[in-house]
Amino acid sequence: MNPRLAAARALSVVLSGKASLGSSLPEVLGKVDARDRGLTQDLAFGTARWHPRLAGLADKLLQKPFKAADRDVEALLLVGLYQLFHTRIPAHAAIGETVGCVDKLKKPWAKGLLNAVLRRAQREGEALLAELEHDPVIRVAHPRWLQKTL
């Protein structure tokens, strides 16, 4: 299984509120080649770590939010955004591989959407992130309750 798809499948369960990443990730790691398990873990944990920032950026890039039935596509978009802004993976590879995973989800309508949103993020992402930086939850990706406690 593609490491991006595996990370997105583990994350989609978390986004749905049905499980934690600690319980959903081991299930998909068994389906990934041994050489790609580190990348899968980095994509899953990194996307979860920066979720508030990535979700805020996705909200800016999308015209309307995803439906509950499309959490897998949303998770794949977040994994793609994580690759663009928080890894050293070249942008063309991050976009191409992430969009290529849509075929396995059997949602062909999402291919054009993911491609367009990720390419727009590549072009305009830094400016959009700068607009979001005023919110400390998005800037440092820590929940508001934790910031208040600290």
What are the pLDDT digits (tens) for 86-118? 999 999 999 999 999 999 999 999 999 999 999
CA distance 89 to 82: 10
pTM, entire model = 0.91
- Domains and their CATH numbers in the chain: 3-149 (1.10.940.10)
How far, CA to CA in Å, does 38 sit from each of 7, 11, 65, 69, 87? Answer: 11, 16, 30, 28, 13
In this prediction, residue 83 carries a pLDDT of 96
CA distance 30 to 27: 6
